[in-house]
Amino acid sequence: MSARAGRAVLAFVRLGRPQFLAGGFVLYGLGAALAALAGSAIDRRRYVWGQLAVTAVQLMTHYCNDYFDLAADQANATPTRWSGGSRVLPDGGLPAVVALWAAVVLAGVALAAAVVLVRAAGAPAGTVPLLLVMLFLAWEYSAPPLRLHSRGLGELTTAVVVTLSTPLFAFYLQAGQFSPLPFLAVLPLCAFQFAMLLAIEFPDAAGDATAGKRTLVVRLGAPRAAILHQLAMAAAYLTLPLLVVLGLPPIVAIAAAAPAPLAAWQAWQMRQGLWREQAGWEKLGFSAVVVLIGSAACELAAVLWAIRRGA
């Protein structure tokens, strides 16, 4: 392989932002583990094909976003490791059309995996429709005509696709039906995802506004968005007792609260106005990601412990 081809391959990998894929594995594993806790036997074929579908949707979203958000990324003078896209397209690493075609192919891979799930792995009939909903919302997050991230719906859409639909998809594949348990387990994670999106939008706000990408930080203004971030974080923890009353195993609720010290630090820093300081954006983004993935991983560990204890 020539040096030029090697650089193109590395740029293509960077374009997919693989550093964000870990969350998809943790959340998918959480959904399957909750199905096992509810009494379902884990079908390995469904698990593997389902994970392939979820990862393909996640990668599709990354390539799709970089293509349709190119103008905003070009206008962004303050990207971080967590925001501003992969920087491959604005830096001229690859033609923009490569991202679009990669997204289309990955959408096809996700659909093919869903068909295999139903036809060869015996997955329930709702598998394909559920995946289609995930694909549609993920695509329309940044793509026209809806461009949900510019209608004040992007943050909520991401929470629905990533932290709600991914565990539900895994649960449904194994259990063949829905139950309140996965909904109760992921509601705090949805709040963390919502807050994380706000935290990583502060560095992008100026470029987004210039390009007409109207995220909640742009629409509300940074001070109000910072307050909304704190409210979302507080809601995630304050609702845990109610979720336990409604049926969430206490051990899972305790696990979800494990990263609370870091979340409290982040909320305090936000209250102190760290969102105003460019030097603090990297720190805020990193801590927001760790709170989300850490909480999901702690929940997964608690569910696996409960399964083993009940075996």
pLDDT digits (tens, 9 = 90+) for 178-200: 999 999 999 999 999 999 999 99
The answer on pLDDT for 259 being more than 70 is yes
Options 1.20.120, 1.20.1260, 1.10.287, 1.10.600; CATH of 10-310: 1.10.600
DSSP state for residue 275 in the 8-state scheme = G
Buried b (16+ CB within 10 A) or exposed e, 206-237: ebbbebebbbbbbebebeebbebbbebbebbb
Lowest mean pLDDT among 4-13, 173-182, 224-233: 4-13
Tokens for 86, please give them: 């992969």
Q: Percent of the chain beyond pLDDT 90?
A: 81
**What is the arithmetic mean of pLDDT over 230-248?**
96
The answer on pLDDT for 5 being more than 80 is no
The answer on pLDDT for 311 being more than 60 is no
- Nearest CA to 31 out of 60, 53, 56 is that of 53
Total-model pTM: 0.95
pLDDT reported for residue 143:
95
The answer on pLDDT for 207 being more than 80 is yes
Q: How far is CA 211 from CA 73, 96, 132, in A?
A: 9, 17, 29
pLDDT reported for residue 1:
60
- Label residue 277 by pLDDT band (50, 70, 90): confident
Residues 6+ apart with CB under 8 A from 112: none
Residues 6+ apart with CB under 8 A from 132: 111
pLDDT reported for residue 153:
93
